[in-house]
């Protein structure tokens, strides 16, 4: 019967397995399938008793894995077959600690043993029925020919190359791919270790132009989108980590299947992302991706770890990259890279949303933080019946409004508060920055250290727009705890955790509290409208926030 084929209509999701025993490997294969993997990549060198040789003990180890793997027909088989749309097992032979993968030292791995013995182990793995074996470019030509001559019915070989240093130019990658394709590989695999997210554009270029099925990605947090966007650019396989087995740069199987639904991504999918540094804390993908699907909009929202804004916008100019959220610390700096800026964002001096105009590719900057935060605060005051419901004035009119932080979020909140008639006082570690914002809102500026001793008016509003209290440093608050009783309402822009220590202490002091989750939801609704040109499914998005945040 013909061996398994990786060529399917959609990208295959593969889980790397690194168990220390055959028994645990078999258990992990079952777990991987239950968590949504189409394929598993068995790292034989992680088995404690394994030696890369064709001895009888190792024969039985591989045979045991083959008999019990969850993609085989019921009853077990020594041949890892293609069954019901599932993919079998890719077996590798030596360890690469950088990606928990199996590589000799000269390909960036850790294996220093006898090369002949290592290749014999690969041959044995293939003879026992591994759907694919993964061999390095250096030895590929002879081994690929041998496998194809021996298994003319369909023996499959992945030819791979692990790159050291910066990702090569498109031209050099093209030459590398040509060499790999010339070996007769069924699939080629290129793995880099990008120092900057802009290098990944070369990876996407490779995927979209390869003449044979290709796997290409980069390691680490900056390389995450090379996995998530792999299906869009034609990649044959995307890796996902099992629950409890975190691997830097790999999404979890659950994220691939539930958050991103990679099986739905195609070449027409529009890419949106959060431009930030760091970016791992963001819950944007959990909200935007289900909202896109609910509205039947073909888009994906991904985290983008960006080190250099100028270089990022110079490289990612394709209309496929249709828009961005902008997070810390770039909301002010990004304004200069926008071709046009909406008047509200211009008055604030900060942008949190960018749209690429389809007609000419120009970047248009907006700010949805302002209305998102102020509307959340006003609604909370109204719900507490703090004002007469019939009043046409904002409940913030005339109130002292204390803003901690004069960065992008602080600027949006301060401008919004001023627009509602509040008297704004800004505290920031950079007094010059606070004074600049105070001029915009006709307010006062004070050094941040004085906030610990500041006594607000009774009934004042406090808004924390600093990262203080954000996970993992959750035990700090920006003000003196004894002053919280003087505030009518305390708002915290931090939303991880949802109930920060500041909000807990303010609640205990009797103040109305508003979580940053409310601001996040409302600004995200505004972003959805801008991203898609459609009305956001507000109730659906609120349900997601209530259930998953």
Ordered per-residue pLDDT tens for the chain, 549 residues: 333 444 455 789 999 988 888 889 889 999 999 999 998 888 776 777 665 555 555 555 656 665 555 544 343 333 322 222 334 667 654 444 433 344 444 344 444 455 666 666 666 666 666 778 888 888 887 777 776 666 555 558 899 999 988 899 999 999 999 999 999 999 999 999 999 999 999 999 999 999 999 999 998 889 999 999 999 999 999 999 999 888 888 999 999 999 999 999 999 999 999 999 989 888 999 999 999 999 999 999 999 999 999 999 999 999 999 999 999 899 999 999 999 999 999 999 999 999 999 999 999 999 999 999 999 999 999 998 645 454 568 999 999 999 999 999 999 999 999 999 999 999 999 999 999 999 999 999 999 999 999 999 999 999 999 999 998 889 999 999 999 999 999 999 999 899 999 999 999 999 999 999 999 999 999 999 999 999 999 999 999 999 988
CA distance 190 to 225: 15
Name the packing angle between helices 200-209 and 170-182 (round to 10°): 40
Among residues 88, 236, 232, 233, which one has the least CA distance to residue 159? 236
Rounded Cα distance, 464 and 410, in Å: 8
The Cα–Cα gap between 369 and 520 comes to 8
So what's the pLDDT on residue 141?
A: 77
Residue 77's φ and ψ, nearest 5 degrees, are -160, 155
pLDDT at 143: 76
* CB 111, CB 137: distance < 8 Å: no
Residue 191: strand pairing partners: 162, 217
Q: Side by side, which strands form the sheet with 299-305?
A: 299-305, 270-276, 321-326, 353-356, 363-366, 340-341
Q: What is the pLDDT of residue 128?
A: 61
Angle at 531 between CA 525 and CA 535, to 5 degrees: 50
Q: pLDDT at position 80, please?
A: 29
The helix (run of H) or strand (run of E) holding residue 300 is: strand 299-305
Indicate the SS3 state at residue 211: coil
* Matching residue, tokens 């068995």: 42
Q: Considering 189, 283, 331, 418, which one is annotated as catalytic?
A: 331
Residue 331 among the catalytic residues = yes
Task: Report d(CA 141, CA 122) in Å as an integer.
Answer: 14
What is the end-to-end Cα distance of the chain in Å, rounded? 49
Residues 6+ apart with CB under 8 A from 242: 15, 17, 28, 31, 32, 35, 37, 252, 253
Cis? peptide before 111, omega within 30° of 0: no
φ/ψ of residue 132, rounded to 5 = -140, 140
Tokens representing 164 are 């050291």
Q: What is the 3-state secondary structure (H, E, C) of 489-502?
A: EEEECCCCCCCCHH
Closest CA to 93 of 50, 45, 48: 45
């Amino acid at each position: 019967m013909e061996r398994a084929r990786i060529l399917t209509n959609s990208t295959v999701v593969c889980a790397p397995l690194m168990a220390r025993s055959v028994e645990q490997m078999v258990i992990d294969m079952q777990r991987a399938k239950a968590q949504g993997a189409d394929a598993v990549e068995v790292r034989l060198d992680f088995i404690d008793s394994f030696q890369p040789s064709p001895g009888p003990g190792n024969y039985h180890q591989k045979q045991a894995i083959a008999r019990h793997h969850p993609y085989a027909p019921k009853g077990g088989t020594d041949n890892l077959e293609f069954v019901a749309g599932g993919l079998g097992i890719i077996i590798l032979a030596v360890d690469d600690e950088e990606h928990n993968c199996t590589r000799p030292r000269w390909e960036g791995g850790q294996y220093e043993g006898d090369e002949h013995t290592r290749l014999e182990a690969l041959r044995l793995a293939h003879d026992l029925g591994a759907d694919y074996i993964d061999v390095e470019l250096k030895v590929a030509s002879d081994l690929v020919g041998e496998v194809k001559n021996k298994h003319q019915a369909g023996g499959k070989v992945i030819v791979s190359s692990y790159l050291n240093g910066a990702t090569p130019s498109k031209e050099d990658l093209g030459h590398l791919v040509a060499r790999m394709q010339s070996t007769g590989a069924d699939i080629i695999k290129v793995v880099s270790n990008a120092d900057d997210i802009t290098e990944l554009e070369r990876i996407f270029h490779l995927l979209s132009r390869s003449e044979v099925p290709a796997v290409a990605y980069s390691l680490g947090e900056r390389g995450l989108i090379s996995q998530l966007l792999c299906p869009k650019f034609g990649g044959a396989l995307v890796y996902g980590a099992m629950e409890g087995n975190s691997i830097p740069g790999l999404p979890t199987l659950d994220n691939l299947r539930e958050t991103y639904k990679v099986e739905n991504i195609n070449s027409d999918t529009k890419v949106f992302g959060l431009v930030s540094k760091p970016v791992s804390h963001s819950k944007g993908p959990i909200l935007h991706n289900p909202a896109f699907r609910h509205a039947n909009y073909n888009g994906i929202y991904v985290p983008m770890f960006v080190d250099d804004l100028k270089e990022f916008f110079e490289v990612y100019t394709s209309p496929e990259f249709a828009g961005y959220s902008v997070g810390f610390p770039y909301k002010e700096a990004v304004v200069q890279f926008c071709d046009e800026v909406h008047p509200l964002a211009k008055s604030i001096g900060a942008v949190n949303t960018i749209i690429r105009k389809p007609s000419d590719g120009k970047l248009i900057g907006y700010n949805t933080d302002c209305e998102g935060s102020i509307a959340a605060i006003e609604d909370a005051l109204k719900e507490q019946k703090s004002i007469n419901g019939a009043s046409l004035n904002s409940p913030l009119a005339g109130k002292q409004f204390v803003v901690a932080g004069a960065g992008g979020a602080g600027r949006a909140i301060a401008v919004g508060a001023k627009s509602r008639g509040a008297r704004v006082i800004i505290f920031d570690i950079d007094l010059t920055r606070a004074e600049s914002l105070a001029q915009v809102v006709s307010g006062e500026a004070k050094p941040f250290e004085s906030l610990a001793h500041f006594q607000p008016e009774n009934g004042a509003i406090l808004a924390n727009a600093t990262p203080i209290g954000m996970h993992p440093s959750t035990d700090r608050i920006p003000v003196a705890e004894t002053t919280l009783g003087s505030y009518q309402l305390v708002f915290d822009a931090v939303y991880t955790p949802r109930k920060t220590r500041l909000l807990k202490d303010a609640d205990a002091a009797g103040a109305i509290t508003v979580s940053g989750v409310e601001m996040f939801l409302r600004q995200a609704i505004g972003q959805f409208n801008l991203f898609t040109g459609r009305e956001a499914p507000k109730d659906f998005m609120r349900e997601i926030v209530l259930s998953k945040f």
